[in-house]
């Protein structure tokens, strides 16, 4: 009985095997013999999606003071147009202005001293020295005549010894006076000494350096815009204390003539982006409106995501590469707006 049952089982197994071998629908698909028409056609990918944020062409510039002080004036309101180099805030600077004026006076004094040395005596002083020489010469001539007369009288025993000594003394005094007058004239007419001129020139240089330093400190009391654009935010008002040692920006400015979007591309897609690639952005507030642009810069370092779409399924641990998209002129979007950026892929 058991042999018959075993025979029936073997016959059944053999029948199933033959049915599986000779029935096409029962066999597993032979992938090696499938035709291209039988393969599933993948849906081509047309774009890369990324989160982005609108920023000015110049980026947002937080402008701070270059020195510690109290704000005297912050005249511009948010949205105001500014030019590069325009004063956007002023610190209290009366003491610095006084230092500039004192330094200017010191420069004037040093230059006057140098001019006096270079130019020598004035014309009136030269005339006076020449007159002193003529006067001393005349006095010497008179003293010489008086001495000769006393010597003649002494030879004839007609004059006194005392008168002769006086005449000799006055003659010697007249000679010395003439020599002193001529020396004084030479001093006035002589060119300046090299050491005196060098010292005077050094004093001028020192005074000018102190003036430049005072002006530089005074200039730091004026806060100027680094770019032409608009005031995006005003963070400080008159009367507040600011310092170059602390993070105390006064105004945020930016060049909004051209807007850009800084997008974060997932690391899995970075091989499909390139410079000049067409792109567009959309924002929920603007519905389906597209703002076209193109990729102008691709980052060189991977980083962590800084933008979130607030979706439960969002991956926050992925690494991204920053891509800068420049929007076409006329894209009127507020700075800081979060947008969805789409980079279009070239189709084969």
Domain ranges of the chain: 47-58+256-344, 61-92+221-253, 102-215
- Rounded to whole angstroms, the Cα distance separating 75 from 155 reads 102
Strand partners, 292: 280
Which H or E element spans position 321?
Answer: strand 319-327
For residue 157, give the DSSP letter: T
Q: Render pLDDT for 214-228 as a digit per residue (tens, 0 to 9).
A: 999 999 999 999 999
Please, which pLDDT band fits residue 171 given cuts at 50, 70 and 90? Answer: confident
Topology annotation, domain 102-215: 1.20.120
pLDDT > 50? residue 165 = yes
Are the CB atoms for 118 and 197 separated by under 8 Å? yes
Are the CB atoms for 298 and 262 separated by under 8 Å? no
Topology annotation, domain 47-58+256-344: Elongation Factor Tu (Ef-tu); domain 3 (2.40.30)
Are the CB atoms for 263 and 323 separated by under 8 Å? yes
pLDDT > 80? residue 190 = no
Both tokens of residue 116?
A: 């006096």
Q: Looking at the domain that runs over 61-92+221-253, which CATH code has it been given?
A: 2.40.50.100
Strand partners, 47: 344
Q: Which residue has the higher pLDDT, 14 or 211?
A: 211
Q: Render pLDDT for 7-52 as a digit per residue (tens, 0 to 9).
A: 666 676 666 666 666 555 544 455 555 555 555 655 667 899 999 9
Nearest to 252 by CA among 45, 23, 62: 62
């Amino acid at each position: 009985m058991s042999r018959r049952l075993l025979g029936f089982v073997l016959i059944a197994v053999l029948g199933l095997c033959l049915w599986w071998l000779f029935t096409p629908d029962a066999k597993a698909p032979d992938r090696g013999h499938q035709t291209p028409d039988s393969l599933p056609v993948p849906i081509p990918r047309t774009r890369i999606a990324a989160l982005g944020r609108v920023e000015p062409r110049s980026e947002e510039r937080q402008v701070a003071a270059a020195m510690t002080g109290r704000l005297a004036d912050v005249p511009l309101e948010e949205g105001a147009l500014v030019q590069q180099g325009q004063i956007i805030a002023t610190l209290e600077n009366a003491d610095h202005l006084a230092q500039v004026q004192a330094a200017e006076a010191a420069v004037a004094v040093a230059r006057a001293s140098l001019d006096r040395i270079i130019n020598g005596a004035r014309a009136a002083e030269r005339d006076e020295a020449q007159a002193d020489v003529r006067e001393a010469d005349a006095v010497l001539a008179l003293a010489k005549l008086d001495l000769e007369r006393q010597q003649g009288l002494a030879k004839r025993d007609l004059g006194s010894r005392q008168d002769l000594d006086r005449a000799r003394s006055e003659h010697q005094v007249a000679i010395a006076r003439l020599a002193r007058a001529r020396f004084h004239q030479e001093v006035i007419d002589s060119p300046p000494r090299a050491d005196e001129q060098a010292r005077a020139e050094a004093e001028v240089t020192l005074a000018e350096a102190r003036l430049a330093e005072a002006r530089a400190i005074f200039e730091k009391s004026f806060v100027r815009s680094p770019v032409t654009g608009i005031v995006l935010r005003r963070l400080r008002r008159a009367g507040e204390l600011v310092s170059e040692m602390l993070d105390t920006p006064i105004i945020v400015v930016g060049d909004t003539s051209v807007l850009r979007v800084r997008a974060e591309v997932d690391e899995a897609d970075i091989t499909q982006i390139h410079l000049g690639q067409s792109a567009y952005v959309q924002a929920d507030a603007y519905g389906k409106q597209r703002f076209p642009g193109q990729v102008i810069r691709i980052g060189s370092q991977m980083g962590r995501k800084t933008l979130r779409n607030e979706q439960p399924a969002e991956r926050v641990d992925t690494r991204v590469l920053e891509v800068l998209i420049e929007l076409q002129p006329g894209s009127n979007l507020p700075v800081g707006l979060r947008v969805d950026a789409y980079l279009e892929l070239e189709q084969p």
